Amino acid sequence: MAVSPKERNRAYHKRYKEDVEREGKSFYPYAVLHDSIMSLVVVAVIIVLAVIWHYTADGTDAGILGPWYTDQADPGTIAFVPRPDWFFYFLFYLLRIFKWPETVVLGTVGIPTLLLILLIGLPFYDRRPERRISRRPVATVAAILVVISMGVLTWKGATAKEALGSELIATGEPERWAQEQGFADNRTAVEGARLFAESGCLNCHTYLGEGNGNLGAPDLTDVGASGRGVDFFKSYVSNPAQYGNNVMISYGYLGDENLTKLATFLNASKGPK
């Protein structure tokens, strides 16, 4: 006669209780002692690493574990590209796969929430007593795929390149843009291209293949083809909110002269010649 799953689980639970009574150890002091020893080991490792860091570094000169301190952070910078800690690189790169705004909710809410629900529910929907890897092919393959996926996404996130203004200017990208767009003879537009590169615009926008295309920001390669003129672009950049754009920050702090350069550059960007 076949044994029902409920009866089998009761038998397993009974055997577990008998094993604990026969061979088990009480929580105190055994488990408490183990946790205390492990906590002391962790604290000791931290102290050792701190001592090594302190005595191998010298000021801003990096030792084995880095320097004592680095240059003071500049809260007014617009060229810095924030990046997460290494253990969030897989989520960081996941956001590069799902583009704003159509599918970004899948990368930010959908997939992480679904995986979290599956992990929390694991003890409820996987009640098989078998724990040998060779007899659990589905669980084994799923675990391997998760590890490989997180490893690949972490590596891709760690090596992802950002569009840094200083690097673009150093490699002559604004001058290349001017040649391709046909405004190399327009000094104001060229200076605007350099300003566009160093002001962090490419953190959201794209231009001739450079940039990230985040937050739904459009490609500005041919934005000047709209024929709206320098005055419009100058007004828009200085206060995007007046045109209903509440995502883009205001660049009014650049001043009238720089805004004119930036607007001239945008107006001259009519697509590669």
Does position 166 have pLDDT exceeding 70, yes or no? no
> Does 204 share its domain with 149?
no
Residue 229 has pLDDT above 80, yes or no: yes
Say how many C-beta atoms besides its own lie within 10 A of residue 95's C-beta. 14
pLDDT the model gives residue 85: 85
Residue 63: both structure tokens together: 């030792």
Collapse the DSSP code of 58 into the 3-class scheme (helix H, G, I; strand E, B; otherwise coil) and give the result.
strand
Confidence of residue 59 (pLDDT cuts 50, 70, 90): low
Provide the 3-class DSSP secondary structure of residue 100.
coil
Does residue 5 lie within any of the structural domains? Answer: no
Of 132, 160, 188, the last residue of a domain is: 160
- Domain membership flag for residue 4: no
Are 60 and 153 within one domain?
A: no
92 shares its domain with 58: no
Position with higher pLDDT, 74 vs 142? 142
- Kindly state whether residue 6 falls inside one of the protein's structural domains: no
* Domain annotation covers residue 88: yes
* Inside any domain, residue 76: no
- Residue partners of 255: CB distance under 8 A and separation at least 6: none
Do 197 and 230 share a structural domain? yes
Please report, to the nearest 10 degrees, the dihedral formed by the alpha carbons of residues 168, 169, 173, 177 taken in order.
Answer: 120
What is the band of 187 on the pLDDT scale with cuts at 50, 70, 90?
very high
Instruction: Supply the DSSP symbol for 79.
Output: S
Q: What is the mean pLDDT of residues 16-32?
A: 74
Mean predicted confidence (pLDDT) in 93-114: 79
Q: Do 174 and 260 have their domain in common? A: yes
Query: Does 102 share its domain with 190?
Result: no
Query: Is the CB of residue 205 less than 8 Å from the CB of residue 219?
Result: yes
Q: Which residues contact 66 (CB under 8 A, 6 or more apart)?
A: 53, 57
Q: How confident is the model at residue 9 (pLDDT cuts 50, 70, 90)?
A: confident
Mean pLDDT, the chain, integer: 83
Q: Based on the domain organization, do 90 and 137 belong to the same domain?
A: yes
User: For the residues 197-201, what does the mean pLDDT come to?
Assistant: 82
Domain that holds residue 29: 12-71
Give the CATH number for residue 243.
Answer: 1.10.760.10
Section 190-212 average pLDDT: 84
- Single residue among 160, 181, 213 that ends a domain in this structure: 160
Residues 141, 225: one domain? no
Q: What are the CA-CA distances from residue 220 to residues 80, 147, 209, 238, 258 (Å)?
A: 21, 38, 10, 17, 18
Structural contact between residues 1 and 119, judged by C-beta atoms closer than 8 angstroms: no
What's the CA gap between 77 and 69, in Å, rounded? 19
State the pLDDT at residue 199.
81
Judge contact between 78 and 199, C-beta under 8 A.
Answer: yes
Among the listed ranges 3-7, 137-141, 189-193, which one has the minimum average pLDDT value?
3-7
22 φ, ψ to 5°?
-85, -40
| Domain match, 50 and 100 both | no
Q: Does the pLDDT at position 105 exceed 70? A: yes
- Stretch 141-153: mean pLDDT: 91
Judge if 169 and 262 occupy the same domain: yes
- 156 and 170 part of one domain: no
Residue 56: pLDDT band (50, 70, 90) is: confident
Last-in-domain residue among 112, 128, 160: 160
107-124: average pLDDT: 86
273 located within any domain = no
For residues 66 and 104, membership in a common domain is answered with no
Question: Does residue 35 form part of some domain?
Answer: yes
Question: Which pLDDT belongs to residue 164?
Answer: 60
What pLDDT does 100 receive?
A: 63
- Average the pLDDT over 153-166 and give the result: 76
Our count of domains for the chain comes to: 3
**77 lies in a domain?**
no
